[in-house]
Amino acid sequence: RRHTRSFHVTGVQTCALPIFHLVLKRNKIQSEVMPSKAIKTGKGLEHESWIRLNKEDKRLLIFAKIFIKDQAFDDQITEIIQKQEDKESIVSLRLVRDSGPQHLYASHSLPFDNGIPIRLFIRCLQRFCMDLAAVYTFDKESILKKKS
């Protein structure tokens, strides 16, 4: 109980994932801990995302996927990625074709050497999801699959 009230969430604790889950719940963000040890977020954010702790690198990774329709051309995908890069955003996109359906992989990481302030974590997560949702505005030819 005392960990959930602290100012910092530390990633070196074995109970870090349940703490993140409680922090998200307190901020009205639906989440669940997945078998892969990542936290999947849902309602309460602009776009679905996942959170994973990398204890070796001492980084917290926020990541998400935007799936692309099969009939999309490379130049259309490149244009969306370029427009996202030109925008002031914390989201970095890359095209993934080698594992399952083609998609844009988005990620952002935060260091957690001495913990992560909870407010910073929540603001960063909200900004990441907001910036990711904005990618759909660059899709003039409807090649991205809309989130359901």
Task: Identify the residue with better confidence: 40 or 9.
Answer: 40
* Distance in angstroms (rounded) separating the CA atoms of residues 56 and 58: 6
Neighbours of 116 (CB within 10 A): 22
Q: Which pLDDT score, from 0 to 100, does residue 6 have?
A: 39
How far is it, in rounded angstroms, from Cα 124 to Cα 32?
19
Q: What's the pLDDT score for residue 5?
A: 41
- Does residue 53 register a pLDDT over 50? yes
The Cα 5–Cα 142 span in angstroms is: 44
Note the pTM of the prediction, 2 decimals. 0.80
| pLDDT tens, residue by residue, 76-97 | 999 999 999 998 889 999 999 8
